[in-house]
Amino acid sequence: MKVLIVDDEPLARRRLASLLASIAGVELVGEAPDGQSAMVAVDRHDPDLVLLDIRMPGVDGLEVARRLALRESPPAVVFCTAYDEHALAAFEAEALDYLLKPVRRERLLGALERVRRYTGEAAPPSRVEVDGKRQRSHICARVRGEMKLVAVSSISHFLADAKYVEVHHDGGSVLIEDSLVSLEEEFGERFVRVHRNCLVARERIEGLGRNAAGETVVRMRGSVGSLEVSRRNLPQLRRMLREL
């Protein structure tokens, strides 16, 4: 799927570009800072989808969407805006979705799936299927301004920290903006929750034990050592270990 980003805020464009870079089957073909430039970019790149801000100088996003809708083969439009009062006008302009900033990865994924259904595009083959659900083979993170891909098979555990999640893998650790809940939903067959803030790779577990404070911990292979297990998650973890 070819995607064009239209937003007058450079930081907003960079954030969307970063999110798109982590999604299989998506190609960012261009960016535009205003409505007039957007029309030129659509002619130049022929995108399948335009991620479109609403409030911009000159030609605003709603007018861009109306103009695109008049074309014989218009691209799909998904609005990305900080204001929720334009939702009705957005759908009247034939937008497929309406995302509020800051755009979360889960919502963007949902919007892309909606676009795929609309255009008839097949889901990207680079995600593996587990029980009928697509999973990423890699996690994408931004490290010092660059994109880094981490193979899911190399990850020992996910650890929630404030608004970020730490991805601990064989080569170190990186921060991502995915929620722990969404990661559990996507990778529940490979990772198990041991604490409200931690998911661990099932294949990396060596067993259960206790630390110096008498708390139950899960022992992990490699340099990870052990991680605390909450009382709430202990019964589920014990059942899982008996079935391995």
Q: Determine the Cα–Cα distance for residues 106 and 90; give it in Å rounded to an integer.
A: 21
Query: Domain span at residue 231?
Result: 133-243
Q: Are 167 and 102 members of one domain?
A: no
**Angle at 182 (CA atoms; ends 231, 129), nearest 5 degrees:** 110
Does residue 8 surpass a pLDDT of 90?
Answer: yes
Does residue 228 surpass a pLDDT of 60?
Answer: yes
Q: Are 13 and 91 members of one domain?
A: yes
Q: Are 115 and 138 members of one domain?
A: no
* Residue-wise pLDDT tens digits, 124-161: 544 445 555 556 778 878 777 666 778 888 999 999 98
Domain tally, the chain: 2
Give the mean pLDDT of 57-66. Answer: 91
| Domain termination site, one of 89, 119, 149 | 119
CATH number at residue 94: 3.40.50.2300
Q: Are 54 and 25 members of one domain?
A: yes
Query: What is the reported pLDDT for 227?
Result: 93
**49-52 and 2-6 as β-strands: parallel, antiparallel, unpaired?**
parallel
CA atoms within 13 A on the CB side of 67: 15
Give 115's contacts (C-beta < 8 A, 6+ positions apart). 1, 48, 49, 76, 78, 96, 97, 121
Q: Determine the Cα–Cα distance for residues 153 and 169; give it in Å rounded to an integer.
A: 9
pTM for this prediction: 0.53
Residue 124 lies in a domain: no
Query: What is the reported pLDDT for 177?
Result: 82
| Domain termination site, one of 119, 151, 178 | 119
Q: Are 63 and 154 members of one domain?
A: no
| Domain termination site, one of 56, 86, 119 | 119
* Residue-wise pLDDT tens digits, 100-128: 888 888 889 888 988 888 777 655 544 44
Residue 126 lies in a domain: no
- Can you say whether residue 113 is alpha, beta or left, with left for phi > 0 and alpha for psi between -120 and 50 degrees? alpha
**Angle at 32 (CA atoms; ends 28, 147), nearest 5 degrees:** 35
Name the residue with higher pLDDT: 84 or 198.
198
Query: What is the reported pLDDT for 121?
Result: 63
Q: Are 189 and 225 members of one domain?
A: yes
Above pLDDT 90, what percent of the chain? 49
CATH number at residue 231: 2.40.50.1020
Give the mean pLDDT of 197-215. Answer: 92
Residue 128 lies in a domain: no
Query: What is the reported pLDDT for 125?
Result: 45
Residue 90 lies in a domain: yes
Does residue 220 surpass a pLDDT of 50?
Answer: yes
* Residue-wise pLDDT tens digits, 151-192: 888 999 999 987 789 999 988 999 988 888 889 988 988 999
